[in-house]
Amino acid sequence: MGGHSHWATTKRHKAAVDAKRGKLFTKVIREITIAARGGGDPDGNPRLRLAIIKAREANMPNDTIKKAIQRGTGELPGVTIEEFSLEGYGPGGTALLIEIQSDNRNRTVAEIRSLLTKNGGNLAEAGAVAWQFHKKGLIIVDKDKVEEDRLLSLSLDAGAEDVKVTDKTFEVITAPHDFEPVRKAIADAQIEPSLAEVTFLPQNSVQLEEKAAEQMLKLLEVLDDHDDVQKVHANFDISEEIMEKAAAAG
């Protein structure tokens, strides 16, 4: 999702997901459990540290966080969660990369295939669209939180690759291994980001007109609503005008 509509779209369906607190808890618990397989100490495990931050933002009780970590480290029994990605095409020929965490791969693949088919998309073979995305750290800061020169200097000194300026935000891009030091440098400077995550950014984008844009936003919502879907990455771009119409209709 490029430029201004990346964050506009992210905020829109993030709000929809956050409204479903139970589903949000399920997804964050799974992420903590899988992250904890790399070690139960967040100080030495950046992925776990980030998952715990998200859990606290969702007001998850400490005891729930602790048990999720213990299931990941094997201290507590739990179902085996498999992590994998699915690739597909959405409305207007958009590329989709869907991150999954599931305890039943076959069931989940069948359900995602059905959701795509019903909403103007289809499942693709492995490797069909993944090449269109690069794994990157992404930190988004609202413009009213910091001066451009300060954020630019801070981010680049900490190892960021680029800082993109959009209408209302700054988008700090990093290599995955540089995400944590850059995130920490921004946090240590008392600058609060709107979004901070390691994600997949598209190399190019497909501009969607009104009908395809509506279909795409609907598809994002039904995918986000699925318990096993952790994140959806897509290479679409939607004009501010169409986004505002969609938000008003939604």
| 15 falls within a domain | no
* Rg value, the chain, Cα: 18
How high is the pLDDT of residue 1?
33
Q: Is residue 187 part of a domain?
A: yes
Say if 242 falls within a structural domain.
Answer: no
13 pLDDT exceeds 80? Answer: no
Question: Could you tell me which residue, 105 or 237, shows the higher pLDDT?
Answer: 105
Domain interval for residue 148:
132-202
Average pLDDT over residues 88-108: 96
Does the pTM of the predicted model rise above 0.75?
yes
Whether 105 is in a domain gets the answer: no
Please tell me the total count of domains within the chain: 1
List 197's β-bridge partners, or say none: 138
- Residue of 248, 232, 240, 208 lying closest to 86 (CA atoms): 232
Report the half-sphere exposure of 175 (CA within 13 A, side-chain side): 6
CB of 133 within 8 A of CB of 95? yes
46-57 and 21-35 helices, crossing angle to 10°: 160
Give the whole-number percent of the chain exceeding pLDDT 90.
75
Q: What is the total residue count of the chain?
A: 250
CB atoms within 10 A of CB 35: 22
Angle between helices 179-188 and 148-158 (to 10 degrees): 140
Q: Please report the sign of the dihedral spanned by the C-alpha atoms of residue 164, residue 6, residue 128, residue 83.
A: positive
pLDDT score of 20? 60
Q: Which amino acid is at 60?
A: M
- Using pLDDT thresholds of 50, 70 and 90, give the confidence band for residue 167: confident
User: What SS3 class is residue 190?
Assistant: coil
Residue 51's pLDDT is 95
CATH code of the domain containing 148 = 3.30.70.980
pLDDT band at residue 21, thresholds of 50, 70 and 90? Answer: low
Residue 150 maps to a domain = yes
Position 243 scores a pLDDT of 79
The whole-number pLDDT of residue 11 equals 55
pLDDT: is 157 or 221 the higher one? 157
* DSSP bridge pairs for 141: 170
Do the domain assignments include residue 169? yes
Higher pLDDT, 12 or 167: 167
Residue 159 resides in a domain: yes
The answer to whether residue 184 is domain-embedded is: yes
